[in-house]
Amino acid sequence: MDITPTSVESLVSQVEDGAMIALPPQYSNCSLVMARALIRRGVRDLHLVGVPQMGLHADLLIGAGCVSVVETAAVTMGEYGLAPRFTAAAKAGTLKVLDGTCPAILTQLQASEKGTPFGVLRGMIGSDLLKHRDDWKVGENPFAENDPIVYLPALKPDFTMMHALKADREGNIWLGVRRELMLMARASAATLVTVEEIVDENLIADPVTAAGTLPAIYVSAIAEVADGAWPYALPGGYREDEAHLREYMTLAQTEEGFQTYLQRFVFDGEPRVAAE
Amino acid sequence: MDITPTSVESLVSQVEDGAMIALPPQYSNCSLVMARALIRRGVRDLHLVGVPQMGLHADLLIGAGCVSVVETAAVTMGEYGLAPRFTAAAKAGTLKVLDGTCPAILTQLQASEKGTPFGVLRGMIGSDLLKHRDDWKVGENPFAENDPIVYLPALKPDFTMMHALKADREGNIWLGVRRELMLMARASAATLVTVEEIVDENLIADPVTAAGTLPAIYVSAIAEVADGAWPYALPGGYREDEAHLREYMTLAQTEEGFQTYLQRFVFDGEPRVAAE
Amino acid sequence: MTTPTETPTVRPEEVLIEAISGMLAGLSHVAVGASSPIPGAAAFLTNSRAPTKTRVSILGSERNFFNEGARELFDLAGQGRIDAFFLSGGQIDGQANVNLVAVGDYRKPKARFPGSFGSAHMYYLVPRVILFRWEHSRRTLVEQVDFISAPGVSPANVHRPGGPHALITNLCLFDFDRQRARFRLRSVHPGHSLEEVRDQTGFDFDLPEDGQVPFTPTPDAATLETIRGPVARRLAEVYPTFAARVFDLGSAA
Amino acid sequence: MTTPTETPTVRPEEVLIEAISGMLAGLSHVAVGASSPIPGAAAFLTNSRAPTKTRVSILGSERNFFNEGARELFDLAGQGRIDAFFLSGGQIDGQANVNLVAVGDYRKPKARFPGSFGSAHMYYLVPRVILFRWEHSRRTLVEQVDFISAPGVSPANVHRPGGPHALITNLCLFDFDRQRARFRLRSVHPGHSLEEVRDQTGFDFDLPEDGQVPFTPTPDAATLETIRGPVARRLAEVYPTFAARVFDLGSAA
């Protein structure tokens, strides 16, 4: 059952306005090349789900006006500072933020993975997160007396987007230990993947690589594109482009600077990593 | 953080009468050598949990009088027929059988894995399984009207017992795609492992093998013992000993024959695979 | 193990393989239990006919694409990613209830089967569950099962996107009508008769609307070639004993 | 990046590393968040002192033993397999409530922080949560947080095996009393004073029972050697920027 690789533009052409998209955390297989293609496509009103948090990929989409809701445990640029366009949009009140906490989002995806309408999780009671989340409920543990616990509805994104080192010809994707990506794919209706390369070996048939491979049944479409995580790192591939991230942080402090960044690095064609 | 390998007898010396032990399915890394050592130790009143089903390892322990409760989706000898000692004990009414269904048991372990007091699962409503399981409850989905769903309490076994191809010096265990074993270990208070060999490479530090490796933090003790799954197969190691399993099926049809089997293959020292 | 002195033109198993395969045509993903060689062969046949359309996974085999362990099959069903699955039963009754547990009193049974496996979940979630029971007798096909591992039908408020689609035995093929909770005979296998089916069935069932009971079609020459060639070879990897017995193929010990 | 012209005898960071390490001694498993170099160094120091006793895992780093992805840290906490963890906050108040979300009106905040991360779970489940906030000011240590990402204490019926153990800043170390829901000053770091702590703290706190406020002990020569040698080198693998700045070590780009 082979899968025919396509282009990045073709991948994102499936994403309609208003779609709910699950995105990996900033340290794990982000497809920045798909984020840039989404911006070029001019998609609107996206509902981004950080699994469980997001970075530059979300900040770009927010700054470019593609997003109306973010549902996440955090939007962070890590050591570089606050995510500038997320922070500006949140302060302006133009972005709806569904603040969550990491294991709650993962629990909601696990409920979808299992086909149950909800899951439960310890913690959270007394947190103001619950005040602002009408979709989360405090209920009782039916196996004990007076033991409240939080009930979380299943979350089924329309899309998961990720970038990986390699896919094979059947459409199996090497992810190694980044298992949140497998959870996301299982919980989502469709999964779009960019990969550095497509290899001839069968990743799932080899018992050594099988455990770290996302099976093709969860994969909707694949594009082969080098440096697809850039400027983020790709575990097992390349390190993050610190100079570029600093440049982003400088430019994106203002709306004007951000537009300059977009023009140079998104609209004027697809950049590639300059230095090796 | 190295782990010091010990003997099989030392592993099972930790298991007290009445312990709840999770066992893998018959096609996945069963430690028959630990089952035989438990019988020699003369342990009593075990509560076996099949994850989600069991085979010869359970039939041996039941026949030897070590078990008072089995909680499982099935006890099966597969193509060889009904598990003879399980069937005899169940018909005699001397064994308490908590009949379950595969995904329910896995859900109960997932609740322990997550530290929640229960999980929920679709299906089962209208099954007679529920009639006989006071510990399972039908409740409501709080996110919908008139939508009953089954609530299942977390299951935390005292021990998980398994056999694997290899461990490294830190105590990490290679399991490949047999991820129910990782779930069992995470959900259990202690995990006892026999392995074919202990290797020098670090299984969790190598990004290729990490995904299929049970991290040492979940492992309580390890013994190095060749042919530890015999007469069952070990995926990646050896095939099942069909002739021996047929001999077992013949002998174990009667209590007398089963005692002969025990004497020859359990009490008269530890057998090894005869043919390669 | 005896070698048949003369190979019959069409083996009874081959009629079932073809009939089941017909019910799997066009589906995306067919999952097969660990000890189901005839359904497995049918799924492989469907896959041979449409290799880019129908995936097959064999539970408990190393020859599938799962890597999440035992729970992945059930999770896939919960996600709606399995289109067809097979169940059997020590007893199956006229409402398509299946019993994989016990005959007689549950606490002190006359007969004890291995257990319910995943039936109490899969039967609810997989859209097309095909009941398979080789032995067609009043012992196996009963008016009412002694223990319901999984019920054939559920009240309207119970989440149940899936359920029984058909029942196939060594004698015949029934369709199941979920609205009426009754089986309707679709066809009788060559060499058998409606009378034999009536004699051997413990529950009441409907006849085809026109009252005519056809024979189950036998596979044509090209299909037989596929079954005995590539399908039998794939089967031998997973069910060596069965493949050796029926197709005289396999890696016998 | 400037190179200090003169290395001070004991760096302020080293005092904190030693103080935190003291609170981790004897624990089996210490987990550290992704952007916590001082707690990370303290955990490495504890591990250097007792390598067979204390495991350290650094969240988001490839240098840990997780292989279940993002959820494993939280699952480990739920299983009771993490003994200590660190949290910070844009604001922390006198009841040990932490705010990682916003200052001012939540819907249109004056300041917006990245978000709550895993705090609303870990703070409840890890027995010994150490609050770490370098900047000790009335801006960060407030009487009442504007948004409770995770509360310092919970009602008796809320399942909460874990919670705040201490708060350490660039000025001092507080213990937290869960019964009284109040901080008690344990020690002031060398070079600082109780008055400075009072000036810079937005909440009321208790003094040591004997009324004497000691200085936080400074690491001895052997400890300093460990911190600047093996600990700094391990730190540079995970927090290169920090290691380069503080220890003049690391793989700067």
How do residues D64-115 score in pLDDT, each as one tens digit?
Answer: 788 999 999 999 999 999 999 999 999 999 999 999 999 999 999 999 999 9
End-to-end Cα distance, chain A: 36
Report the alpha-carbon distance of residue C98 to residue C25 in Å, rounded: 25
List of chain D residues whose C-beta atoms are within 8 Å of the C-beta of residue A235: 62
Best mutation target among A129, A180, A181, A246 (most D Cβ atoms within 10 Å) is A129
Backbone angles phi, psi at D14, to 5 degrees: -70, -30
Q: Does D150 touch chain A (CB under 8 A)?
A: yes
Interface ipTM > 0.90: yes
Compute how many other C-beta atoms are within 10 angstroms of the C-beta atom of residue A16.
12
What value does the mean pLDDT take over residues A195-201?
A: 97
Report the alpha-carbon distance of residue B51 to residue C221 in Å, rounded: 44
End-to-end Cα distance, chain C: 12
**Residue contact A126–D154, C-beta within 8 A:** yes
Report the alpha-carbon distance of residue B173 to residue B191 in Å, rounded: 11
Instruction: Using DSSP, state whether D143 is helix, strand or coil.
Output: coil
pLDDT of residue C62: 63
Q: Do chains D and C touch (3 or more CB pairs under 8 A)?
A: no
**Residue contact B177–C66, C-beta within 8 A:** yes
Q: Does B94 touch chain C (CB under 8 A)?
A: no
pLDDT of residue A65: 98
pLDDT one-digit tens code per residue, D28-61: 999 998 778 999 999 999 999 998 899 999 876 6
Residue A184 near residue A192, CB atoms below 8 Å: no
List of chain D residues whose C-beta atoms are within 8 Å of the C-beta of residue A234: none
Q: Do chains B and D touch (3 or more CB pairs under 8 A)?
A: yes
pLDDT one-digit tens code per residue, C217-246: 999 999 999 999 999 999 998 888 889 899
List of chain B residues whose C-beta atoms are within 8 Å of the C-beta of residue D65: 172, 204, 215-217
Q: Which of the pair, B130 or D252, is modelled with greater confidence?
A: B130
Please report the DSSP string for D115-141 in residue order: --TTHHHHHHH-SEEEEE-S--STTTE
Q: Token pair for residue B93?
A: 């009414």
Residue B89 near residue B62, CB atoms below 8 Å: yes
pLDDT of residue A274: 39
Confidence of residue A200 (pLDDT cuts 50, 70, 90): very high
- Rounded to the nearest 10 degrees, how much is the dihedral formed by the CA atoms of D148, D154, D155, D159? 120
In chain A, where the domains are located? 8-100+156-256, 103-153
Q: Do chains A and B touch (3 or more CB pairs under 8 A)?
A: yes
Please give the sequence-ordered ranges of beta strands (E in DSSP) within B42-147, or none if there are none.
Answer: 46-50, 67-72, 96-99, 118-121, 137-140
pLDDT of residue D18: 98
The sign of the CA dihedral D243, D244, D246, D248 is positive
Please give the single-letter amino acid code of residue C249. Answer: L
Residue C128 near residue C86, CB atoms below 8 Å: no
In chain D, where the domains are located? 12-247
Report the alpha-carbon distance of residue D135 to residue B122 in Å, rounded: 50
pLDDT of residue D248: 81
**Residue contact D35–A78, C-beta within 8 A:** yes
Q: Token pair for residue D58?
A: 């650094």
Task: Please list, in sequence order, all residues whose beta carbon lies within 8 angstroms of the beta carbon of residue C47, skipping any fewer than 6 positions away.
Answer: C30, C54, C55, C56
Please report the DSSP string for A3-43 in residue order: ---B-HHHHHTT--TT-EEEE--TTS---HHHHHHHHHHT-
- In this complex, the residue of D29, D67, D74 whose CB is nearest that of residue B210 is D67
What value does the mean pLDDT take over residues D185-208?
A: 98
Average pLDDT value over all residues in chain B? 95
DSSP character for B51? Answer: S
pLDDT of residue B274: 39
The tokens 């396509």 sit on which residue? Answer: A6
Burial class (CB in 10 A: 0-12, 13-18, 19+), C245: middle
The answer on pLDDT for B117 being more than 90 is yes
Report the alpha-carbon distance of residue B255 to residue B69 in Å, rounded: 19
pLDDT of residue B272: 60
Please give the sequence-ordered ranges of beta strands (E in DSSP) within A114-171, or none if there are none.
Answer: 118-121, 137-140, 148-153, 159-168
Report the alpha-carbon distance of residue C251 to residue D207 in Å, rounded: 79
End-to-end Cα distance, chain B: 36
- Backbone φ/ψ region at A52: left (φ over 0), alpha (ψ -120 to 50), beta: alpha
pLDDT one-digit tens code per residue, C192-207: 999 999 999 999 999 9
Compute how many other C-beta atoms are within 10 angstroms of the C-beta atom of residue B272.
10
Report the alpha-carbon distance of residue C165 to residue C22 in Å, rounded: 13
Q: Token pair for residue D102?
A: 């916003």
Reported pTM: 0.96
Confidence of residue D1 (pLDDT cuts 50, 70, 90): very low
pLDDT of residue C253: 37
pLDDT one-digit tens code per residue, B123-135: 999 999 999 999 9
Q: Token pair for residue D10?
A: 């004991």
What value does the mean pLDDT take over residues A250-254?
A: 98
**Residue contact A142–B235, C-beta within 8 A:** no
pLDDT one-digit tens code per residue, B67-77: 999 999 999 99
Task: Please list, in sequence order, all residues whose beta carbon lies within 8 angstroms of the beta carbon of residue B9, skipping any fewer than 6 positions away.
Answer: B37, B40, B41
Confidence of residue D63 (pLDDT cuts 50, 70, 90): low
Q: Token pair for residue A152?
A: 């979380």
Q: Which of the pair, B78 or C129, is modelled with greater confidence?
A: C129
Report the alpha-carbon distance of residue C179 to residue C202 in Å, rounded: 21
Chain mean position to CA A188: 12
Confidence of residue A79 (pLDDT cuts 50, 70, 90): confident
Instruction: Using DSSP, state whether C246 is helix, strand or coil.
Output: helix
Report the alpha-carbon distance of residue A107 to residue A122 in Å, rounded: 11
The tokens 């591939």 sit on which residue? Answer: A237
**Residue contact B204–D75, C-beta within 8 A:** no
- In this complex, the residue of C100, C112, C120 whose CB is nearest that of residue B124 is C120
Backbone angles phi, psi at B262, to 5 degrees: -60, -45
Task: Give the residues across from C29 on adjacent strands.
Answer: C55
Please give the sequence-ordered ranges of beta strands (E in DSSP) within chain D, or none if there are none.
Answer: 29-32, 55-58, 84-87, 91-93, 98-99, 102-103, 111-112, 128-132, 141-142, 164-168, 172-177, 182-188
Report the alpha-carbon distance of residue B109 to residue B100 in Å, rounded: 13
Residue D149 near residue A128, CB atoms below 8 Å: yes
pLDDT one-digit tens code per residue, D16-33: 999 999 999 999 999 998
Task: Please list, in sequence order, all residues whose beta carbon lies within 8 angstroms of the beta carbon of residue C105, skipping any fewer than 6 positions away.
Answer: none
Confidence of residue B28 (pLDDT cuts 50, 70, 90): confident
The nearest CA of chain B is from the CA of C213 a distance in Å of: 33
Nearest-Å Rg of the Cα atoms of chain D is 18
Q: Token pair for residue C198?
A: 């009536």
Residue D150 near residue A130, CB atoms below 8 Å: no
H or E element: which one contains D81? none
The sign of the CA dihedral C204, C210, C213, C216 is negative
pLDDT of residue C91: 98
Task: Give the residues across from B48 on adjacent strands.
Answer: B21, B70
Confidence of residue D62 (pLDDT cuts 50, 70, 90): low
CATH of B8-100+156-256, one of 3.40.50.150, 3.40.1080.10, 3.30.479.30, 3.30.310.10: 3.40.1080.10
The answer on pLDDT for B62 being more than 50 is yes
The tokens 């033991």 sit on which residue? Answer: A147
Q: Does B2 touch chain D (CB under 8 A)?
A: yes
Burial class (CB in 10 A: 0-12, 13-18, 19+), D61: middle
Q: What percent of chain B has pLDDT over 90?
A: 92
Q: What value, to the nearest 5°, has the Cα angle with vertex A180 and ends A179 and A184?
A: 120
Residue D62 near residue A235, CB atoms below 8 Å: yes
Q: Token pair for residue D158?
A: 């809320």
Compute how many other C-beta atoms are within 10 angstroms of the C-beta atom of residue A35.
24
Q: Token pair for residue D131?
A: 């609050």
pLDDT of residue C63: 64
Distances (CA, A) of A19 to A51, A217, D127: 16, 21, 40
Backbone angles phi, psi at D144, to 5 degrees: -145, 130
Q: Token pair for residue C167?
A: 């029942």
pLDDT of residue B27: 87
The answer on pLDDT for A273 being more than 80 is no
- Rounded to the nearest 10 degrees, how much is the dihedral formed by the CA atoms of A49, A52, A56, A62? 30
Q: Which long-range contacts (CB under 8 A, 24 or more apart) does D188-194 make?
A: D188/D213, D188/D214, D188/D215, D188/D216, D189/D12, D189/D15, D189/D16, D189/D215, D189/D216, D190/D10, D190/D15, D190/D215, D190/D216, D190/D218, D191/D12
Task: Please list, in sequence order, all residues whose beta carbon lies within 8 angstroms of the beta carbon of residue D43, skipping any fewer than 6 positions away.
Answer: D20, D21, D24, D30, D32, D54, D56
Confidence of residue B79 (pLDDT cuts 50, 70, 90): confident
Distances (CA, A) of C212 to C178, C184, C193, C200, C215: 22, 12, 12, 19, 10
Write the class of the CATH domain D12-247. Answer: alpha beta
Report the alpha-carbon distance of residue D62 to residue D52 in Å, rounded: 21
What value does the mean pLDDT take over residues A179-197?
A: 98
Q: What percent of chain C has pLDDT over 90?
A: 82
The answer on pLDDT for D241 being more than 90 is no
pLDDT one-digit tens code per residue, C202-221: 999 999 999 999 999 999 99
The answer on pLDDT for A1 being more than 80 is no
Residues 134-193 in B contacting C (C-alpha not used; CB under 8 Å) = 146-149, 177-183
pLDDT one-digit tens code per residue, A10-30: 999 999 999 999 999 998 899
Backbone angles phi, psi at C119, to 5 degrees: -60, -40
